[in-house]
A = this chain, B = another copy of it.
Amino acid sequence: MSLSNCVNLNNSNLDGMSSDFLYHLNINVANTKDTQDIQKQFGDVRVICMGGTGRRMLELAKYLRLKLGISGEGEPIDLCEAGHRYTVYKVGPVLCASHGVGSSTCSVVLHELLKLVKYAKCQDPIFLRIGTCGGLGVKPGTVVVTKDAYNGYLRNEHEIPILGERVVRPASFHEQLIEDIVKYGTQADDGFETIKANTMSTDCFYEGQGRTDGAVCQYTEEQKMKFLQTAYEKGIRNIEMEATMMASLTLMAGVRAGDICVTLVNRLNGDQVTITMDEKHEFEERPFLIVGRFIKHLLNN
């Protein structure tokens, strides 16, 4: 197998390890020098889709089976069930992995999936996050493909404490990949809009996103609206909890990545999610449609 498009992670220590237990995925790489078992199981993976809930990833796996015409009997199998934390389904060359809510949990599984694609010698794998989010000045149901990811300080960067020091890293997604994805979301009869825009990403759903309906709130409605307006002026059209971490970590790892989220609420009109469960379910399927088209095109070329 050609090594030219394999993932070269930014960590030389991994080469010195004889084995690697991907703890939260419960996948044991027993021999890092000879990963034929892992290559056999995962070596064909081209796209890793990630999303918040296991249920949604199961639905995505079923959707992609149909869309990509990949055979499979019965329910897709959760490959990481024994780890009890994340669910991972494999549909041909696509993994569908859950990551929970927010960057702390998403970071754990992303580190381990990045090591997995390295050991499996996957060729130029693409990481796509498929999520739900709050919107900013866009109609609920709009799909936003993230360009630049902003943190809770409204800065286009990811901040992380490493060995006690504040480390600041760039947090943008792959430009050409974004263009390619957006292209598959602009079909006239979709009945919804897909836009390329900036995303704010926070570690706290309530205070971090300027909501006034959390357990704690020490600011006024007026201060909140001023903050959301400033975010809007920076080209931010949606708010979620993973983008800055995901953009910065995939940039560090040298893999292409995208973040495709559907908005469930327009935060300029209120904080509470008021759509029905049926509407929510229909909205959640919109990124499936776009990502499904994108992957189908990718695999056929």
Binding site for B on A (CB under 8 A): 9-11, 13-14, 17, 20-21, 23-24, 52-56, 82, 84-85, 100-105, 107-108, 110-112, 114-115, 118, 151-154, 160-166, 202-208, 210, 212-219, 221, 223-224, 226-227, 230, 241, 249, 252-253, 272-274, 277
Could you list 5 further interchain pairs (A-B, Cβ under 8 angstroms) beyond the known A103-B104, A115-B215? Answer: A11-B217, A100-B101, A151-B161, A162-B219, A216-B253
Assess the B219–A160 pair: CB atoms within 8 A: no
Chain B residues with CB under 8 Å of A111's CB are 205-206, 214-216
Assess the A163–B223 pair: CB atoms within 8 A: yes
Assess the A205–B101 pair: CB atoms within 8 A: no
A249–B226 CA distance with the chains assembled, in angstroms? 24
As for how many copies of this chain the complex holds, the number is 2
Chain B residues with CB under 8 Å of A101's CB are 24, 85, 100, 104-105, 108
Given that A53-B84, A215-B114, A215-B249 are known contacts, is A204 also in contact with B160, CB under 8 Å in the complex? yes
A115–B215 CA distance with the chains assembled, in angstroms? 6
Given that A53-B84, A105-B102, A206-B111 are known contacts, is A216 also in contact with B163, CB under 8 Å in the complex? no
A106 nearest CB neighbor, chain B only: B104
Given that A104-B203, A203-B103, A241-B104 are known contacts, is A227 also in contact with B164, CB under 8 Å in the complex? yes
Q: How far is the CB of A277 from chain B (nearest CB, A)?
A: 8
Given that A84-B56, A104-B204, A273-B23 are known contacts, is A110 also in contact with B161, CB under 8 Å in the complex? no
A251 nearest CB neighbor, chain B only: B216
Given that A56-B84, A249-B215 are known contacts, is A203 also in contact with B160, CB under 8 Å in the complex? yes
Given that A114-B215, A216-B10, A252-B216 are known contacts, is A108 also in contact with B153, CB under 8 Å in the complex? no
A81 nearest CB neighbor, chain B only: B55
Chain B residues with CB under 8 Å of A249's CB are 215-216
Assess the B21–A272 pair: CB atoms within 8 A: yes
Chain B residues with CB under 8 Å of A214's CB are 11, 111, 115
Q: How far is the CB of A91 from chain B (nearest CB, A)?
A: 20
A277 nearest CB neighbor, chain B only: B82
Chain B residues with CB under 8 Å of A217's CB are 10-11, 13
Q: How far is the CB of A179 from chain B (nearest CB, A)?
A: 26
A24–B211 CA distance with the chains assembled, in angstroms? 15
Q: Which 4 A-B pairs have the closest CB atoms?
A: A102-B104, A152-B161, A114-B215, A101-B105
A223–B167 CA distance with the chains assembled, in angstroms? 15
Assess the B14–A213 pair: CB atoms within 8 A: yes
Assess the A52–B85 pair: CB atoms within 8 A: yes
**9 A–B contact pairs at CB < 8 A?**
A13-B217, A20-B272, A82-B277, A100-B101, A104-B104, A111-B215, A160-B208, A163-B224, A216-B253
A207 nearest CB neighbor, chain B only: B162
Chain B residues with CB under 8 Å of A160's CB are 152, 203-204, 207-208
A151–B159 CA distance with the chains assembled, in angstroms? 13
